[in-house]
Amino acid sequence: MPTASQNALFGMGNPLLDICAVVDKDFLDKYGLKPDDQILAEEKHKEMFEEIVKKFKVEYHAGGATQNSVKVAQWMIQEPHKVATFFGCIGKDKFGKILKEKAEEAHVDAHYYEQSQEPTGTCAACITGDNRSLVANLAAANCYKKEKHLDLEENWKLVEKAQVYYIAGFFLTVSLESILKVAKHASENNRIFCLNLSAPFICEFFKEALMKVMPYVDILFGNETEATAFARGQGFETEDIEEIAKKAQSLPKENKKRQRTVVFTQGKEGTVMTKGDKVETFPVLEIDHSLIVDTNGAGDAFVGGFLSQLVQDKTFEQCIRAGHYAANVIIRHAGCTFPEKPDFH
């Protein structure tokens, strides 16, 4: 029996079309990219989007961190369709059309705010070996407007149907007021609001916005580099991941009915999770190195797996197991793509 109802999981973020290519070190150096990073495109990256298409074999995948995660959650749940809802902004163009088709294929209930000022956003995923350097050109994604979309009655109804909310930190650069409206709604109704640190630059340069949302965060996700950047930004004076998780857990919180849970992944090392006043580490699934196609989307997939069980009221241990399973599947495929059905029990 399915234990998840339609629109029970709500996600809002930057819908991007990923342009994925295996590149070389010269290409990274030319545009000043670190092998493993996530940044926003600047003026100097403009030509990069053209060059990557000309110079390398590219694949296009529907992306955007939050959209990836809700898609993976829907894939893990399978039935009913449209357990996951997604809001974001796209352009009225070819790439926007692709994103709409892909969301439909994934059985996600996507409601895009469509505008014609800006083209649909893209993200260059520059892959070298096990690393991926992501450069996001938000374009349309940056045009999401609370009053033009979130506040509309038929859209807000979908927000009210949800039990679990997930927003990647990336969206903090776009619409803090939209995030706060959703976060406060979750907190006031004792529902679960989840946020991802998403990237070091969010923890460093958008920390004011991040900390406005933090009191409403029931589950905080991140990886080890983001955790360290967060600790630096907060003046925690430690680089120990378990310590950082504890300190993040004890930051002020609005809804006292739920203690905050902090979940930090560490690539092939174990995943750290706070539990009560303890911190536990859960080993990831072993994988033969030769089976890894690309690690782009692994973090999003982990969250998607986690949310798929959370929305069905499973234990946090089960959520982590599902997260590890989903990530393990995704890294065997290019981009954030997956086989037809999961094999998770």
pLDDT in the model for residue 335: 64
Segment holding 86, helix H or strand E:
strand 84-91
Radius of gyration of the chain (CA): 19
- Residue 201 has what pLDDT? 95
Which pLDDT belongs to residue 126? 95
Q: How far is CA 304 from CA 11, 168, 314, in A?
A: 11, 12, 14
3-class secondary structure, 159: helix
pLDDT at 340: 80
Residues of the chain with pLDDT below 70 are 1-2, 335-337
| Catalytic residue list contains 300 | yes
pLDDT of residue 248: 98
Distance of CA 244 to the CA centre of its chain: 20
In this predicted structure, what is the pLDDT of residue 7? 97
Q: Provide the residue ranges of all domains of the chain, joining segments of one domain with +.
A: 9-15+63-119+139-331
Q: What three-state secondary structure class fits 174? A: coil
Catalytic residue among 93, 151, 300, 343: 300
* Residue carrying structure tokens 């990557």: 52
Note whether 177 and 150 are within 8 A (CB): no
Residue 135 CB coordination number (10 Å): 22
Q: pLDDT at position 339, please? A: 76
The contacts of residue 308 (CB under 8 Å, 6+ apart) are: 4, 72, 73, 74, 75, 76, 77, 322, 326
- State the pLDDT at residue 336: 63
H helices present in the chain, as ranges = 25-30, 46-55, 65-77, 94-105, 153-161, 176-188, 200-205, 207-213, 224-234, 241-249, 298-310, 316-330
| 9-15+63-119+139-331 topology per CATH | UDP-N-acetylmuramoyl-L-alanine:D-glutamate ligase (3.40.1190)
Edge-to-edge strands, sheet with 192-196: 109-115, 84-91, 9-12, 164-168, 192-196, 219-223, 261-266, 269-275, 278-282
Residue with tokens 């010269």: 26
Provide the pLDDT for residue 87. Answer: 98
Query: Cβ–Cβ contacts within 10 Å for residue 230, how many?
Result: 24
Residues belonging to the chain: 345
HSE-CB for 156 with a 13 A CA cutoff: 12
